[in-house]
């Protein structure tokens, strides 16, 4: 792929030679001529600088300039709702696996092993957030850990509490699990609450068993596959089932993972680059492999197969609805994290970091939260980036791992994000041109 730019217009030449342009504010995609392409200035994926170009008043440049200045009345900005509607709960801070790249202190504990939350402290916290939420707004609880299915009783008690104390409230339950404890009993519980389920799986057994080993050396993948089969036998009872792989320099085989995932009739797949990985070669291979995955998906099943991959689905949705995203996530705005000691932070990566705590129990520190209230594209100084309204300023945890600071961008993250956006634009144009 080759990229060019004129102010907020990005030009993309695909590997097949198709030329397209993307209006970064209006979220419009169009095919362009060779002359228009020539009027754009070359840029690198790593840069968000707007190239300087002297206007020569040629026809293609005037056309570009006019398009750039246009305001699309249909494009709207998704203003984030600052009511806390998304809570993630660590119902336990222990794990039965020992994943190589574990985000939770290397062993699921965040350096503070807690086998079970004190439910008598967690329920009032949930009530506190429910009380602050206007009745028409839905509420979302994600169960995380450690491995949340080591303490399924907490999930059951929380769902029961909400159904008794807020029976009118729309509530979505999500669970992010390593998938090794999806017993009949746990599947029954998750079906009863109509959960959205994200299963961590990094590829076929020869890879996943290395990346996500059990403590006794048996295959974690075999357990995940059994669990997936149990879930898929009752698929209609769940809101959504997704397989999520995390990749770093020890495992960058996205295509192999995709081929393995494809045998399971789940709703979507997600491919993430490990937040704690800063290896440039791995980052570049991640992009290359993702383009292979996209090509294979598109060849096998066109737009619908491509859109089973979460990132493509998100970008296609934003482009179809012409909805600008100003916030990569709702951290500190609509989203908060409660750890197993009932401490509140804005991000799962901040658990147990005292200086990142924004509350405890039912006390919220509004002053600390104020720092999060501006749109992330402003906080992270993204206003020159052509991809800002599809990216939304990026993940603060990824930025921090790359630059040392939440609001100073991680250049590798930006490069991968822009690559993925440009790739999505190429496929978007292909799909819409065909329809
Ligand atoms: S974080 Fe996202 S929006 Fe900000 S500069 Fe990087 S790619 Fe662009
Ligand atoms: S900053 Fe990143 S890891 Fe933290 S909540 Fe947002 S998206 Fe998730």
Give me the DSSP letters along 241-266.
Answer: EEEEEEEBTTB--HHHHHHHHTTS--
- Quick one: which atom of ligand 1 is closest to the CA of 380? 4
- CA 4, CA 95: separation in Å to the nearest integer? 47
CB of 409 shorter than 6 A to ligand 1: yes
pLDDT, tens digit (0-9, with 9 covering 90-100), for 209-263? 999 999 888 999 999 999 999 999 999 999 999 999 999 999 999 999 999 999 9
Pair (258, 230) in one structural domain? yes
Which residue's alpha carbon is at the smallest distance from atom 2 of ligand 2?
395
- Quick one: which atom of ligand 2 is closest to the CA of 329? 6
Pair (144, 268) in one structural domain? yes
pLDDT of residue 53: 73
Pair (260, 376) in one structural domain? yes
Pair (223, 299) in one structural domain? yes
- Distance, CA 253 to ligand 2 centroid (Å)? 24
Query: Of 23, 42, 74, which residue sits at a domain end?
Result: 74
CB of 271 shorter than 6 A to ligand 2: no
- Quick one: which atom of ligand 2 is closest to the CA of 406? 1
pLDDT, tens digit (0-9, with 9 covering 90-100), for 398-421? 999 999 999 999 999 999 999 999
Instruction: Tell me how far the alpha carbon of residue 320 is from its chain's centroid.
Output: 19
Pair (313, 327) in one structural domain? yes
Q: Quick count: other Cβ atoms within 10 Å of Cβ 72? A: 12
| Residue among 192, 199, 102, 101 at smallest CA distance from 149 | 199
Domain that holds residue 208: 80-435
What Å distances lie between residue 103 and 2, 110, 260, 397, 427, CA to CA?
Answer: 35, 8, 24, 11, 32
Looking at residue 258, which CATH number applies to its domain? 3.20.20.70
Pair (111, 60) in one structural domain? no
CB of 431 shorter than 6 A to ligand 1: no
Pair (258, 328) in one structural domain? yes
CB of 397 shorter than 6 A to ligand 2: yes
Pair (64, 90) in one structural domain? no
- The residue to mutate among 325, 385, 398, 424, having the most atoms of ligand 1 within 8 angstroms of its beta carbon, is 385
Pair (26, 100) in one structural domain? no
Pair (70, 149) in one structural domain? no
Q: What is the pTM of this model?
A: 0.95
Q: Are 207 and 253 in contact (CB under 8 A)?
A: yes
CB of 414 shorter than 6 A to ligand 1: yes
Q: Helix, strand, or coil here: 217?
A: coil
Pair (68, 84) in one structural domain? no
- Quick one: which atom of ligand 2 is closest to the CA of 396? 1
Which residue's alpha carbon is at the smallest distance from atom 7 of ligand 1?
414
- CA 404, CA 415: separation in Å to the nearest integer? 17
Query: Of 24, 40, 74, which residue sits at a domain end?
Result: 74
Query: Of 57, 74, 91, which residue sits at a domain end?
Result: 74
The total of structural domains in the chain comes to 2
Taking 50 as the pLDDT cut, the residues of the chain under it are none
Q: Are 45 and 3 in contact (CB under 8 A)?
A: yes
Pair (59, 122) in one structural domain? no
- Quick one: which atom of ligand 2 is closest to the CA of 330? 6
């Amino acid at each position: 792929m080759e990229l060019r730019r004129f102010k907020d217009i990005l030009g993309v030449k695909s590997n097949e030679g198709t030329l397209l342009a993307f209006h970064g504010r209006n979220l419009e995609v169009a095919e362009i001529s060779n002359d228009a392409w020539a009027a754009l200035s070359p840029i690198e994926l790593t840069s968000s600088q707007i190239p300087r170009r002297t206007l020569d008043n040629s026809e293609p440049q005037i056309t570009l300039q006019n398009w750039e200045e246009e305001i699309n009345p249909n494009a709207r900005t998704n203003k984030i709702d600052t009511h806390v509607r998304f809570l993630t709960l660590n119902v336990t801070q222990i794990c039965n696996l020992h994943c190589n790249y574990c985000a939770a202190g290397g062993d699921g504990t965040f350096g503070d092993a807690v086998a079970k939350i004190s439910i008598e402290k967690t329920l009032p916290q949930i009530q506190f957030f429910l009380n602050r939420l206007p009745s028409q707004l839905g509420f979302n609880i994600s169960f995380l850990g450690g491995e949340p299915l080591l303490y399924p009783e907490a999930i059951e008690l929380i769902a029961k509490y909400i159904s008794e104390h807020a029976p009118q409230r729309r509530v979505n339950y999500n669970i992010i699990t390593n998938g090794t404890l999806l017993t009949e009993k746990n599947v029954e519980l998750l079906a009863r609450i109509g959960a959205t389920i994200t299963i961590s799986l990094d590829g076929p057994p020869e890879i996943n068993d290395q990346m996500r080993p059990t403590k006794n050396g048996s295959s974690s993948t075999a357990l995940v596959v059994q669990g997936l089969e149990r879930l898929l036998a009752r698929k209609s009872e769940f809101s959504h089932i997704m397989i999520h792989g995390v990749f770093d320099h020890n495992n960058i085989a996205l295509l192999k993972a995709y081929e393995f995932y494809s045998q399971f009739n789940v709703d979507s797949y997600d491919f993430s680059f490990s937040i704690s990985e800063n290896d440039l070669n791995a980052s570049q291979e991640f992009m290359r492999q993702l383009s292979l995955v996209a090509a294979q998906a598109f060849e096998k099943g066109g737009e619908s197969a491509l859109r089973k991959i979460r990132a493509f689905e998100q970008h296609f949705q934003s482009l179809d609805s012409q909805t600008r995203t100003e916030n990569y996530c709702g951290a500190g705005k609509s989203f908060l994290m409660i750890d197993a000691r009932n401490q509140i932070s804005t991000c799962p990566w901040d658990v147990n970091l005292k200086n990142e705590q924004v509350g405890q129990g039912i006390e919220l520190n509004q002053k600390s939260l104020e720092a999060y209230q501006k749109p992330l594209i402003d906080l992270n100084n993204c206003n020159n980036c052509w991809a800002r309204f599809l990216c939304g300023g990026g993940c603060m945890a990824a930025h921090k791992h790359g630059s040392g600071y939440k609001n100073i961008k991680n250049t590798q993250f930006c490069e991968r994000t822009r690559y993925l956006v440009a790739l999505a634009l190429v496929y978007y144009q292909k799909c819409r041109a065909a329809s």
